[in-house]
Amino acid sequence: MKKPLILVTADVKPLDGYDWHAAPSTYLQATLSGADAIPVILPSLGAEVDLDAVLDRVDGVLATGSRSNVNPQLYGAEATEANGPYDAARDATTLPLLRRAVERGIPVFAICRGMQELNVAFGGTLLTEIQEMAGRSDHRAPTSEHQDERFRIAHTVDVASGGQLGKVIGDEKFEVNSLHRQALGDLGKGLKIEAQADDGTIEAVSVTGAKGYVVATQWHPEYWVASDGPSQKLFKAFGDAARAYAAQRT
């Protein structure tokens, strides 16, 4: 059987006088080795691309993390310079993409900004600068030039028993990394909490009633997929869902 194709979302980054549509290699490698699938980057061209024509040809969608924030105007809040940077082209692509993929039953794995996009795509809101909120911990990455340090284990998460995430990695508490300053606020339509940090921050969600596999995490399983058990299980489950979808698509 052919390996499934996974659509990977892209940031738009200026470099060498061009705008590049790019995804970090960690997501691409985790798709290859952890999900045993082929990653294909979707440029963030918004409404210029017929999403259904693309989704007809793929078996899963991986929504990546990014330092940029979803523009708050998309969930009824004010955009400010301090809240940026934003990536309007990415927002214009990923929000409709995630809505459509979920509607069509195409497996979705959304990570960090990807999880925040999923929530906003379904009408939810985001909290910002959560480290300044009473009772909340600091979920930002440590300041370091070394990626292993930035992606180091930061806190534990509690998995909701009997949920989608529990089916994949078990209901036990486990440890995750943390590189975000925003978090889910009001949940979008159908979104269900699958894991939370001790300070109440929503760490994973699924979509109730979705036709296909949908799991989203606020942490980054792609980074330690070569060595961390829960990260491996998450990418393997996503790959299996994409293989099952591919088998019935063709």
- Please state, in angstroms and rounded to a whole number, the distance separating the CA atoms of residues 180 and 78: 19
Are the CB atoms for 140 and 201 separated by under 8 Å? Answer: no
Applying CB under 6 A, does 239 fall inside the site for ligand LF53FM6H? no
Candidates 32, 55, 154, 179: give the one binding ligand LF53FM6H (CB under 6 A): 179
Alpha-helical regions (H) of 105-176: 113-121, 147-150, 164-169
Q: How many residues bind ligand LF53FM6H (CB under 6 A)?
A: 13
- Cα-atom radius of gyration of the chain, to the nearest Å? 17
Q: Does the annotation mark 103 as catalytic?
A: no
Q: Hey, what are 242's tokens?
A: 């994409």
Applying CB under 6 A, does 155 fall inside the site for ligand LF53FM6H? no
CB nearer ligand LF53FM6H, residue 64 or residue 232: 64
Considering only CA atoms, which of 143, 164, 165, 140 is closest in space to residue 154? 140
| Region for 32 from its dihedrals, namely left if φ exceeds 0, alpha if ψ lies in -120 to 50, beta otherwise | alpha
CB nearer ligand LF53FM6H, residue 69 or residue 206: 69
Among 9-17, 27-35, 176-184, 227-235, which window interacts with ligand LF53FM6H (CB under 6 A)?
176-184
CB of 87 vs ligand LF53FM6H, minimal distance in Å: 10
Applying CB under 6 A, does 180 fall inside the site for ligand LF53FM6H? yes
CB of 4 vs ligand LF53FM6H, minimal distance in Å: 24
- Residue at token pair 């691309």: 49
Q: Does the annotation mark 222 as catalytic?
A: yes
- Please state, in angstroms and rounded to a whole number, the distance separating the CA atoms of residues 212 and 96: 17
- Residue at token pair 């934003």: 86
Q: How far apart are the first and last CA of the chain?
A: 11
Q: Which member of 21, 112, 117, 180 is catalytic?
A: 112
Applying CB under 6 A, does 113 fall inside the site for ligand LF53FM6H? yes
Q: Which member of 117, 194, 203, 222 is catalytic?
A: 222
Are the CB atoms for 32 and 26 separated by under 8 Å? Answer: no
SS3 74: helix
Question: Which parts of 17-76 interact with ligand LF53FM6H (CB under 6 A)?
Answer: 65-69
Over the window 182 to 211, marking each residue x when it contacts ligand LF53FM6H by CB under 6 A and - when it does not, the resulting string is x-----------------------------
Q: Does the annotation mark 220 as catalytic?
A: yes
How do beta strands 11-15 and 18-22 pair?
antiparallel
Candidates 141, 197, 214, 225: give the one binding ligand LF53FM6H (CB under 6 A): 141
Binding site for ligand LF53FM6H (CB under 6 A): 65-69, 112-113, 116, 141, 179-182
Active site residues: 112, 220, 222
